[in-house]
Amino acid sequence: MSNPIFSGFGQQQNQNPQNNLVSMFNHIRTSPNPNAAAMEMLSPEMKNYISQNGGDAKTAFYNLAAQKGVDPNQILNTLRGFM
């Protein structure tokens, strides 16, 4: 995806980012510890950014969206379409 919010997710980009995103969600959803699975997929920079926001990924997400001038609800609605 070209959305700047997703720039910290994953280490590999394939030719179909939608399939990559769906695969990530399925991995997280089926994991015995979804929070740990999600954190494994984040880049070190994104993990650091979350730490700088009190360790709260939700707060970090909304803060980053505001910094990038992106509507976080639009991103969340797009993600909900994959679930």
pLDDT value of residue 70: 94
For 20-68, what is each residue's pLDDT tens digit? 778 888 888 899 999 889 888 889 999 999 999 999 999 999 999 999 9
pTM check: above 0.75: no
Tally Cβ neighbours within 10 Å of residue 60: 20
3-class SS string, the chain: CCCHHHHHECCCCCCCHHHHHHHHHHHHHHCCCHHHHHHHHECHHHHHHHHHCCCCHHHHHHHHHHHHCCCHHHHHHHHHCCC
Mean pLDDT over residues 73-78, rounded? 90
Q: Where are the domains of the chain?
A: 43-83
- Torsion angle (degrees, nearest 10) of CA 68, 73, 74, 80: 130
The helix-helix angle for 44-52 and 57-68 (nearest 10°) equals: 100
pLDDT value of residue 49: 94
17 or 67, which is more confident?
A: 67
